[in-house]
A and B are shown apart, each in its own frame.
Chain A
Amino acid sequence: MKAKKMPVAIDTTSKKFAEYAHPEVLVSSQWLADNLGASGLVVVESDEDVLLYETGHIPTAVKIDWHTDLNDPVTRDYVDGHAFAALLSRKGIKREDTVVIYGDKSNWWAAYALWVFKLFGHEDVRLLDGGRDLWIAEGRELTRVHPEVEPTDYPVVNRDDSKIRAYRDDVLAHFGNPLIDVRSAEEYSGERTHMPAYPDEGALRGGHIPSAQSVPWARAAAEDQTFRPRSELEAVYFAGGAGLKAGDDVIAYCRIGERSSHTWFVLNYLLGLPGVRNYDGSWTEWGSLVGVPIIRGSEPGIAPAPRLK
C-alpha cells in the first residue's frame, strides 16, 4: 500500500481490495455512506445517460458528463487544461481533494472519467465498487437535491498524454507487445463495426488490430457490477486467459476508448501492470485509417513489424 498521505483515509475494510495491486483506488458503498460529507471528499457521478443523475443521485454528488464536460466540443479530443480547470472549479473540486467517482453500467463511464482525471494528474481519484446500481440495490439513499457547490480555483494543469494514452502511431510502434481488444466478439471478428444494439459511430472496415487478444471489458465485472477479485481477474488476463505477464506494456482499445478505460483501470490498478495505455482513437479511428493492417475473424493474427515513428 502506498504510504502517500491521502486527504481522506483509504478504505481498508475490504479483504478483496487488499488483494489488488492498488487497493487505495476503490471504496465500498458502506465506506462511502460512512464518509459522505467528509471534508476533502467530493463525490462525482458519471453515467452513459446524461439525465440519470437528475433522476436521483448519491447525496452530495456532482455530475460530470463524458460528452458535454470531458470531450472537446469541436476537436476530437479531451478538454485542455483550461477547460478542465474551469470544469473542476465549477464542480467545487480542489486539486488536493479525494474524488470518488461512480456511475451506471459497472462503472464503465466512471472509469472513463477517472482516466481523464488522471490525464491531468489529479492525485486521489477512486471508484465506488459496484457503482450506481449496487448503491441502489442495497437500498441506499438517493436524492434529487443538487448540492450547494462552492466554486474552487482548480489550477490549470497541462494534460499529459504520454503515459496512459496511446495515439495511433503509438499503436503502430507497439506491434510485438500485447494489445487487448475489449469490444464484443462480433465487433472483434468484423461482423459488425459497432456494439450490438448501440449507435454506429462509423468505421469503414470491420475487424481488429493484428495480434490483439479479445477480452470483452465486462469480463472484469461481477454480476453485482463490482470488480472481480484479483484471482479471477488474473485468470481472465494472465496465463490461461489473454496471456499477459507482469511487466508487460499493454495497449487497450474499444470503439471510442470508453470501455477500454474500464480495462485500463483493471490492468493498471487492480493487477498492477506498469505500462498500460488506453488507445481512445480505438476502432472508430483504426477502422477508418488508410493503410493500417486489420485482421478479420476470430483469430488474433500475427503482429506486423512495428512502424517506428
Chain B
Amino acid sequence: MTVNREAVSDLIQDFQELSVNDRLMLLLEFSEKLPSLPSRFADHPDLLERVEECQSPIYLFVEIDETKAAHLFFTAPAEAPTTRGFASILHEALDGLPAVELLAVDDDFPNKLGLAEAVSPLRMNGMRAMLGRIKRQVREKLAA
C-alpha cells in the first residue's frame, strides 16, 4: 500500500472546492467506504476505545507496525453516517502514515474541510475528538 503524505491537504482541497451541499454528499461517500473492522477485533471489543465526544457510538483502535507506521481501525453503526464519514476521512488522511508524521498533522484540520456549515460546528467536535484520541493512542503506543 502506498501512503499519500499529502492526503490531509488533498482532502482539504477536495472539500473546499465543493459547494456546501456537495461537501455533504462527499461526506456520505466517505461514510460508505469506511473499511470494516478486521475479524481479529470482532473477538476483542475490549481493545477498542469509545469516542465519548461523538453523538453516535464509534470505537477506534490504533496499531503501530514494525516500521513505526500507524494503522487505524474504526467501527460505527450504519445509522450514524456522519460519524462514519468523519472516521473514514481520518482513515484516508492518516492510515499508514509514519507515527511521527501522524502526530505532526494539524489538530485543526477537521475545521479546514469547510464541513461546519454543512453539519454544524457542534457536530465537528466529534471529528476533532477522534483525531485527539488517535494521536493519544499513537503517543502511548510509541512509548510502550
Task: Please determine whether B79 and A51 come into contact, CB atoms closer than 8 angstroms.
Answer: no
User: Is B31's beta carbon under 8 Å from chain A?
Assistant: yes
User: Is A197's beta carbon under 8 Å from chain B?
Assistant: yes
Task: Please determine whether A68 and B81 come into contact, CB atoms closer than 8 angstroms.
Answer: no
Task: Please determine whether A49 and B122 come into contact, CB atoms closer than 8 angstroms.
Answer: no
Q: In the complex, how many residues of chain B place their beta carbon closer than 8 angstroms to a beta carbon of chain A?
A: 28
Stretch at the interface among B40-48, B53-61, B132-140: B53-61
User: Is B37's beta carbon under 8 Å from chain A?
Assistant: no
Binding site secondary structure of chain B: helix
- Give CA–CA (A52, B82) in the complex, Å: 8
Task: Please determine whether B120 and A68 come into contact, CB atoms closer than 8 angstroms.
Answer: yes
Q: Interface digits, A183-197 against B, CB 8 Å rule (1 contact, 0 not)?
A: 000000000000001
**Which residue from chain A places its CB closest to the CB of B30 in the assembled complex?**
A51
Partner of B54, one of A52, A65, A199: A199
Q: Interface digits, A23-54 against B, CB 8 Å rule (1 contact, 0 not)?
A: 00000000000000000000000001111101
User: Is A201's beta carbon under 8 Å from chain B?
Assistant: yes
Residues of B within 8 A of A49 (CB): 55-56, 79-83
User: Is A75's beta carbon under 8 Å from chain B?
Assistant: no
Task: Please determine whether A55 and B55 come into contact, CB atoms closer than 8 angstroms.
Answer: no
Residues of B within 8 A of A55 (CB): 28, 31, 78, 81
Q: How far is the CB of B50 from chain A (nearest CB, A)?
A: 7
Task: Please determine whether B53 and A51 come into contact, CB atoms closer than 8 angstroms.
Answer: no
Q: How far is the CB of A50 from chain B (nearest CB, A)?
A: 5
Known A49-B81, A52-B79, A55-B28: A67·B120 in contact at CB below 8 Å: yes
User: Is B105's beta carbon under 8 Å from chain A?
Assistant: no
Task: Please determine whether A50 and B28 come into contact, CB atoms closer than 8 angstroms.
Answer: no
- Give CA–CA (A49, B85) in the complex, Å: 11
Q: In the complex, how many residues of chain A place their beta carbon closer than 8 angstroms to a beta carbon of chain B?
A: 17
Task: Please determine whether B56 and A50 come into contact, CB atoms closer than 8 angstroms.
Answer: no
Q: Which of A51, A71, A104, A197 neighbours the largest number of chain B CB atoms within 10 Å of its CB?
A: A51
Known A67-B120, A199-B55: A54·B81 in contact at CB below 8 Å: yes
Task: Please determine whether B118 and A50 come into contact, CB atoms closer than 8 angstroms.
Answer: yes
- Give CA–CA (A233, B108) in the complex, Å: 47
User: Is B52's beta carbon under 8 Å from chain A?
Assistant: yes
- Give CA–CA (A48, B56) in the complex, Å: 9
Q: Interface digits, A51-65 against B, CB 8 Å rule (1 contact, 0 not)?
A: 110110000000001
**Which residue from chain A places its CB closest to the CB of B84 in the assembled complex?**
A51
Residues of A within 8 A of B55 (CB): 48-49, 198-199
**Which residue from chain B places its CB closest to the CB of A48 in the assembled complex?**
B55
Q: Which of B24, B53, B79, B80 neighbours the largest number of chain A CB atoms within 10 Å of its CB?
A: B79
User: Is B100's beta carbon under 8 Å from chain A?
Assistant: no
- Give CA–CA (A176, B12) in the complex, Å: 55
**Which residue from chain B places its CB closest to the CB of A256 in the assembled complex?**
B122
Residues of A within 8 A of B79 (CB): 49, 52, 104
A selection of 25 A-B contacts at a CB cut-off of 8 Å is: A48-B56, A49-B55, A49-B56, A49-B79, A49-B82, A49-B83, A50-B120, A51-B24, A51-B27, A51-B28, A51-B31, A51-B85, A52-B81, A52-B82, A54-B28, A54-B81, A65-B120, A67-B119, A67-B122, A68-B117, A104-B79, A197-B57, A198-B55, A199-B129, A201-B122
- If A67-B122, A68-B117, A200-B53 are given as contacts, then 12 extra A-B residue pairs at C-beta distance below 8 Å, sorted by A number, are A49-B82, A49-B83, A50-B120, A50-B123, A51-B31, A51-B81, A54-B25, A55-B31, A68-B119, A104-B79, A199-B122, A199-B126
